Structure 1
Amino acid sequence: MRYNLKKAILIIGIVALLAIAVSAQVNGVNGNSNENYLIYDSNQGGIVEKSISLELEQGVQWVELEDMENLDNVDPDSIKLEPENSDVLEVVDIKTDFRDNIKTNIGKEVEIELTSGKTVSGVLLRIEDNYPYGLMVLENDERISYINTNNVNQIKTTSDSDSKVMARIESSGSGSFDFQLRYRVNGITWDASYDLYMKDSDSSSRFSGDMIIKNPSNTNYDGNFNLISGQVMSSRYVGFAEERASISDGFERSVSAPQKVGRVYKYELGQLAIDAYSRQSTKYLDKNIDSKTEFMYTTSRHGRNENVRQFLTFANNEEPLPKGTVNVYQEKDGLQVMVGQSSIDRTPDGDEVEINLGSAFDLKGETEILEETRNAGNITRTGEINITNFGNNPKTVTVRYMWEFGELLDSSVEPVETNADFVEWDIRVGVNSDKTIEFEVAEDIRNNNVRAYSDTAEKEISPR
């Protein structure tokens, strides 16, 4: 039952990939054809499409698809061969002889790179529980290792057998016939990498982005590339490689504006050649933005002494941003000093981008609960939150006190927001000084709402 469910999920993901693939209507010459690629981010692989010609005899026959020789990163279940003229042709069956599931290497030496960066070498004894969802069992001179395939990053094999794809085709005539060949490839993927350069003014920054295509497989790709941003697959790919990918020299290329296709976005890059075991970078974004620096101290009833966190935010007003890593730089004495690194999720047009720069070491927060009074089903707390600024410039700090279904009974500073999860204040802290918020809150210790029965003077706190 478990295997059937996971197989169904995988099939649904493949169908979703194929559903948005764009047809490539370019015939090759002398066996070589321009190919159309749709490459998906977040290790979701890609879709290859191309037109091919096959010499057929009348009747039913098995034909080898030579265009797919030695492609060990192909998902066999995704191979589709469609005749241009279905009136005279029918693809009856497709048979694959792949080593992508590594089962042909059972009994042979393999080297496995884990997601943690460690490597494990040994003889592959067996694969349990329907790989790639189960365990790989390896034996070496020291031990027998049981490896969860979800923790596998790459597999280096010693197999030198060729991969083949055979199609069983029924034809009502003889001659050369055109087909559309489409299949999913694993391993190749892409990610966005951003650089944000903070200028002297906190309100102005330069924001640039690159699309980095990563090909850890042993296959060269040459054709028309489209990059897809969006989560469409439900399972993680385990790549096969013989060596680590090396980064090739980047180059700038004009990238078209993203096109929305269902719930994903498509970027057209045009003709590219991506070598095996390589990475290639394409510039697609470079603009000035209005950014602002924010400081936040988050605390709760447990009380804590820690640094205030610093964030850089800006409005994304032009186009959706793909998921990626942001490197933040600040100029000092003519040098661009890296001051932070953070990841951003896919960000739609009109949303705000928030980059976590880490702790602001010249700001310190401290929370102290002075008194607690327990009542029937709720508790009242009186406390102080102190923010100290050790820097040379005044800072505005957002202070957030987390609670569960709480209510602010009293405060020395007017809050800017209260809801079921927290109360929030904005305070201005001068140079080499501190500021304290005195507060009294009521929280329902049974996770029930705390009700206030008076909007003016006396408030009665009561559980539901």
Structure 2
Amino acid sequence: MPDIFKRHSFKLVFLLLLAVSFVAGQQNTSITVTNQNIALVKEERQLDLNKGYQEIMLEDIPVQIIPASVLVESDFDVLEQNYEYDLISVDKMLEKSLEKEIIIEHAEQGKITGKLLSATASSLIIQNIDGITQVIPRNDEQKISLKGIAEEKQPFIIRPALKWDVEAAQNKKYDAMISYLSREMTWQADYVGLLNENDSQITLSGWVTVNNNCGKSFKQTKLKLMAGEINLEQPGRPQPRYETMMVAKATSAFQEKAFFEYHIYDMDRKTDLLNNQMKQIQLFGETTGKTTKIYRVNSDDAENVHVLISFENSKQNNLGMPLPAGTIRIYKKDGEEREFIGENHITHTPKDEKIDIEVGNAFDIVSERTVVDVKRPSNRSERRQVEYKIRNHKDSKIIVEIVESVPQNAEVTEHKSNGNHVRHTANALKYNVEVGANDEFLFNLTYTLSW
């Protein structure tokens, strides 16, 4: 049935009896939110049941509930479950009024009474007691009364509900723990870092942003946040980022612990999670650690010199806690002021791992890469000779990290250069070269690939 509000609005008066038995609301709730747009909700409810078979409605549930995920822990048996989400609307009321008496009143046209035969966005078709069929155009001045709708045996659903057929052993109030999954609840971490003037230290604070768009509000609920990649049939949609700089002063509101192959952040107090609300809670307060500034040139993007801020996520560096994935925004002191210098996304990072934050590209450093020669000593090997020209227009010397990417299916059997070899990984050769102030350095590299 089309939505008859699309083109016209009208006043609607109806007689309706709601004879529905709904169970009591939840007493205590606990929510574990993942950062993959899904959450586990646990509710304690008390149900007043009679002995034997009966039908009950569990209302006040999220619109985005996954009905198949419902788990009930109690002394009664749930024999059948139906998810009732066909909510009351003008369309639904008119649909249920077909072939029933309605009254249309208009200031100029007067009162028209008849049986409703059809209802569309533009008109109503009714048949009066004389058998005459009339097409009544919709307009804003009409008032419609639906009398026959009160005869409906099935009540209208005002909000989503679970309808259960249950069996109870005796007449009493049963305590039940009801758990279910709901979509459209997620969270992400946001970090703020403040560099000192010589880029040797960073003051870092962390916040979590919790988004609730599940269609239900939770008052004074226990909140847990789960960090890690759980396997889901359908991945959640990315959430919009929240561009705000915040400076934390207090201690963390969460206790962190390992759980299975993930990490859980347990909030130390209850909180409200209202529907369509974005809530921000401190993850940890300000802590200062040592940093290193890195200039990096990648072979597949050699014309850009990337600037990274690197630090160790360790207790020795005043950190050392698992950091959930999120966006880190970097500011830098400029005298008494602060300036934004860049942001980057970090993945889930365990303790004692290094974090590299790419904040942008260097303005005063220029890089060029040239393939000088390629030879094939055999059918299963290749020798490459490349050179990098690094020009430093700064008034101080710099160290540049050069990363030469190699195919993953090939093995580097030999390499030589005029730079300091730092690391050799499965898909890259890494070197550090020193470039003097206002000077140029020509880095030569020859390596052989075998497969």
Superposed pair shares fold, TM > 0.5: yes
Question: In structure 2, which of residues 206, 222, 225 is the aligned counterpart of residue 224 of structure 1?
Answer: 222
Query: Do structure 1's residue 397 and structure 2's residue 400 form an aligned pair?
Result: yes
Q: 1:163 to 1:416 in 2, by over 3 A?
A: closer
Q: 1:292 to 1:342 in 2, by over 3 A?
A: same
Q: 1:99 to 1:263 in 2, by over 3 A?
A: farther
**Residues 166-205 of structure 1 mapped to structure 2, 5 A cutoff:** 166-205=163-202
Matched with 2:436 is 430
Q: 1:60 to 1:425 in 2, by over 3 A?
A: same
User: CA deviation digits over 1:384-433, x for unaligned, max 9?
Assistant: 22111112321101112223423445423342334553332211111111
Query: Do structure 1's residue 336 and structure 2's residue 338 form an aligned pair?
Result: yes
Question: In structure 2, which of residues 348, 351, 354 is the aligned counterpart of residue 349 of structure 1?
Answer: 351
**Higher RCO (CA < 8 A, seq sep 6+):** 2
Q: Structure 1: how far apart are the matches of 2:183 and 2:304?
A: 43
SS in 2 for 1:347: coil
Matched with 2:298 is 298
The letter for the 2-side match of 1:259 is K
User: CA deviation digits over 1:44-66, x for unaligned, max 9?
Assistant: x2111122111111111111113
Q: 1:165 to 1:176 in 2, by over 3 A?
A: same
Q: Structure 1: how far apart are the matches of 2:241 and 2:313?
A: 33
SS in 2 for 1:416: strand
Q: 1:375 to 1:173 in 2, by over 3 A?
A: same
Q: 1:98 to 1:440 in 2, by over 3 A?
A: same
Q: Structure 2: how far apart are the matches of 1:369 and 1:279?
A: 51
Q: 1:410 to 1:256 in 2, by over 3 A?
A: closer
Matched with 1:129 is none
Q: Structure 1: how far apart are the matches of 2:330 and 2:385?
A: 40
The letter for the 2-side match of 1:387 is I
Matched with 2:49 is 56
Q: Structure 1: how far apart are the matches of 2:422 and 2:274?
A: 55
Q: Structure 1: how far apart are the matches of 2:65 and 2:415?
A: 63
The letter for the 1-side match of 2:396 is N
The letter for the 2-side match of 1:366 is E
Q: 1:66 to 1:245 in 2, by over 3 A?
A: farther
**Residues 445-460 of structure 1 mapped to structure 2, 5 A cutoff:** 448=451
The percentage of aligned residue pairs carrying the same residue is: 19
Q: Structure 1: how far apart are the matches of 2:299 and 2:209?
A: 38
Contact kept? 1:205, 1:291, Cα under 8 Å? yes
The letter for the 2-side match of 1:275 is L
The letter for the 1-side match of 2:266 is E
Matched with 2:119 is none
Matched with 1:273 is 272
Q: Structure 1: how far apart are the matches of 2:60 and 2:206?
A: 35
Q: Structure 2: how far apart are the matches of 1:322 and 1:246?
A: 16
Matched with 1:126 is none
Q: Structure 1: where are the runs of 5+ without partners? A: 1-28, 106-158, 449-464
Contact kept? 1:372, 1:382, Cα under 8 Å? yes
Q: 1:99 to 1:393 in 2, by over 3 A?
A: farther
**Residues 33-44 of structure 1 mapped to structure 2, 5 A cutoff:** 33-43=27-37
Q: Structure 1: how far apart are the matches of 2:197 and 2:253?
A: 30
**Number of aligned pairs?**
347
SS in 1 for 2:198: coil
Q: 1:52 to 1:390 in 2, by over 3 A?
A: same
Contact kept? 2:385, 2:445, Cα under 8 Å? yes
Matched with 1:386 is 389
**Residues 112-123 of structure 1 mapped to structure 2, 5 A cutoff:** none
Contact kept? 1:41, 1:191, Cα under 8 Å? yes
Matched with 1:314 is 311
Structure (1 or 2) with the larger CA radius of gyration = 2
User: CA deviation digits over 1:188-229, x for unaligned, max 9?
Assistant: 111000011111132211011101111134321221111111
Q: 1:410 to 1:191 in 2, by over 3 A?
A: closer
Contact kept? 2:60, 2:159, Cα under 8 Å? no
Q: 1:62 to 1:391 in 2, by over 3 A?
A: same
The letter for the 2-side match of 1:65 is L
Q: 1:246 to 1:307 in 2, by over 3 A?
A: closer
Structure 2 length normalisation: TM-score? Answer: 0.70
